[in-house]
């Protein structure tokens, strides 16, 4: 998900005050992102460890999803659309609750990976994803190079991934899946740097503590959260060992 620039404010020249505000804004964004990741991980573990709960979503014998499983799988997309298009109308409190609910739903939908992959490979993938994400986040925050054109290129790659994934849903090609996963790792690694730089610019041009700033904090956290989750899932296809 890409964070849309709010047309109601403009960026200011960078000074000590703007840098301080940007740091505080970014710190809040990452705090919300980490909170969402913890909620997602805890929810996934909770559902995967209870046979009754996991069977309410997936049939562990046939591998198929139940009606509730499909609802849980698709509902997060609705939450993202609601938060994105309702940004101007929804309050910061409502956006926060929607974000937390989104993290819970995604944890439920991702609980299946704990049944498919070994815990050691999941842990290894998480460490690798966190390392790559951290390096690119620092790069995006510290670089003086404008990553706008680079971000546009990454978005084109993301659109290509979506189209290829839809095609492969019917083709079921393992080779195409491998290519999609490889490109996915590159795209979301690049998007991490681009999104962090964009959030830094937004943070330097807002009134810290305002309602708009609080809402942008949630949307920024959602953006980075999705970058990390997608990076982790694409890496899992390479590093994950199936049970």
pLDDT of 4 above 60: no
Supply φ then ψ for residue 241, to 5 degrees. Answer: -105, 120
CA 177 to chain CA centroid, nearest Å = 20
Is the separation of the CB atoms in 227 and 188 below 8 Å? yes
pLDDT digits (tens, 9 = 90+) for 56-104: 887 766 667 788 888 888 898 899 999 999 999 999 999 999 999 999 9
pLDDT of 14 above 60: no
Nearest CA to 58 among 102, 116, 101? Answer: 116
pLDDT digits (tens, 9 = 90+) for 34-48: 999 999 999 999 999
Nearest-angstrom CA–CA distance, 227 and 231: 6
Model confidence pTM above 0.75: yes
Is the separation of the CB atoms in 9 and 212 below 8 Å? yes
- Please enumerate in sequence order all residues whose Cβ is within 8 A of that of 174, keeping only pairs 6 or more positions apart, or say none: none
Tell me the domain boundaries of the chain: 16-239
Nearest CA to 3 among 222, 154, 155? Answer: 222
pLDDT at 35: 97
pLDDT of 11 above 80: no
């Amino acid at each position: 998900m890409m964070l849309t620039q709010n047309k109601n404010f403009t960026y200011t020249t960078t000074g000590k005050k703007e840098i301080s505000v940007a740091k505080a804004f970014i710190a809040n964004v990452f705090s919300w992102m980490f909170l969402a990741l913890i909620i997602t991980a805890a929810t996934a573990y909770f559902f995967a460890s209870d046979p009754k709960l996991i069977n309410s979503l997936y049939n562990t014998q046939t591998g198929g999803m139940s009606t509730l499983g499909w609802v849980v799988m698709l509902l997060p997309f609705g939450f993202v659309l609601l938060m994105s298009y309702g940004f101007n109308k929804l309050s910061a409190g409502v956006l926060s609750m929607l974000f937390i609910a989104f993290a819970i739903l995604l944890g439920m939908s991702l609980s299946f990976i704990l049944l498919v992959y070994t815990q050691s490979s999941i842990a290894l993938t998480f460490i690798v994803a966190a390392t790559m994400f951290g390096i690119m986040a620092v790069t995006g925050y510290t670089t003086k190079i404008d990553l706008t054109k680079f971000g546009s290129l990454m978005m084109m790659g993301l659109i290509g991934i979506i189209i290829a994934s839809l095609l492969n849903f019917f083709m079921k090609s393992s080779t195409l899946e491998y290519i999609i996963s490889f490109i996915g790792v590159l795209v979301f690694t690049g998007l991490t740097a681009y999104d962090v730089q964009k959030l830094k610019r937004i943070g330097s041009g807002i009134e810290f503590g305002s309602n708009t700033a609080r809402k942008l904090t949630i949307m920024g956290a959602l953006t980075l959260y999705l970058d990390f989750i997608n990076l982790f899932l694409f890496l899992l296809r390479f590093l994950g060992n199936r049970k």
